[in-house]
Amino acid sequence: MKERLEQGLAALGLEPPAGAVDQLVRYAQLLLEQNKVMNLTAITEPDQVADLHFLDSAGVALCADLAGKRLIDVGTGAGFPGMVLKILVPDLELTLVDSLGKRLDWLSTVCADLGLTGVTIRHARGEELSLDAGFRDQFDFATARAVADLRVLCELCLPYVKPGGRFLAMKALDCEEEVSQAGRAVSVLGGRLLPAFRYHIPGTDVDRRVVLVEKVSPSPKGYPRRWAKMQKAPL
């Protein structure tokens, strides 16, 4: 796996800091070990973990200068893309948010095992935590890898981003219609769509699009709404 990661990161044009690839390999070991007792990933072949989790997540580092910035990964799951970005950009201030405490407990042990610092872990629903003044309009970047409609993801994530920051939504390449439908949501929530960033995941036939949404003004009160409302009546 180490050689595959080194080659893949080089193909992406990324230069990982010293020790980062070894940390990723260890992360993969911990992921696959824990997956035997907890549902963290359906991908269990090590090379596919390297490609479809780690290199996919690493591609996000190509579309933003993350060094010294604050990033919140909403609905982080097994830590993607946030943990990979933290390993590749050690001075990134990372906040991981998820509604499942057991996953976050495991991520906490992973951070300790890898020697990661500057990581805040919060057990909360994404649509509720952004109502907290300590989190609303506070981050340079928000990310989400969740399989959800972009309108819902914008309502969930943009309230965390401060004006001048960006929401980085990981999507499939063929998401033009979804992006078009999200225009109203982006505007209502104080955002502005920028040209999307595209990259190819090395070692695969997968092309990825990161939808870039710049925050131009604070999200209005009343957003985000409850999860059921967001899903039933997206903006």
Tell me the CB-side half-sphere exposure of residue 216, using CA atoms within 13 A. Answer: 10
Q: What pLDDT is recorded for position 53?
A: 96
Torsion of CA 110, 148, 124, 58, to 10 degrees: 30
- pLDDT at position 96 over 90: yes
Residue reference for tokens 């991908």: 43
Can you name the residues that pair with 98 across neighbouring β-strands?
A: 123
- Whole-number Å distance between alpha carbons of 167 and 200: 20
Q: Are 17 and 90 in contact (CB under 8 A)?
A: yes
Closest by Cα among 101, 89, 117, 111 to 15: 89
Average pLDDT over residues 212-226: 96
- Whole-number Å distance between alpha carbons of 206 and 211: 16
Average pLDDT over residues 36-46: 92
Average pLDDT over residues 68-93: 97
68: exposed, middle or buried (Cβ count in 10 Å: 0-12, 13-18, 19+)? exposed
Q: What pLDDT is recorded for position 222?
A: 93
User: Please, which pLDDT band fits residue 94 given cuts at 50, 70 and 90?
Assistant: very high
**pTM (2 decimals)?**
0.95
Closest by Cα among 135, 129, 156 to 234: 156
Q: What pLDDT is recorded for position 146?
A: 76
Q: What pLDDT is recorded for position 75?
A: 95
65: exposed, middle or buried (Cβ count in 10 Å: 0-12, 13-18, 19+)? exposed
Average pLDDT over residues 40-51: 92
| pLDDT tens digits, one per residue of 178-197 | 999 999 999 999 999 999 99
Q: What pLDDT is recorded for position 56?
A: 97
- Whole-number Å distance between alpha carbons of 145 and 94: 15
Q: For the chain, what is the mean pLDDT?
A: 96
Q: What pLDDT is recorded for position 151?
A: 96
Token digits for 80?
């993607």
Residue 106 contacts by C-beta under 8 Å, 6 or more apart in sequence? 34, 38, 40
Strand 70-74 relative to strand 119-123, pairing: unpaired
User: Please, which pLDDT band fits residue 64 given cuts at 50, 70 and 90?
Assistant: very high
Token digits for 97?
């948010």
User: Please, which pLDDT band fits residue 147 given cuts at 50, 70 and 90?
Assistant: confident
Task: State the CB neighbour count (10 A cutoff) for residue 205.
Answer: 6
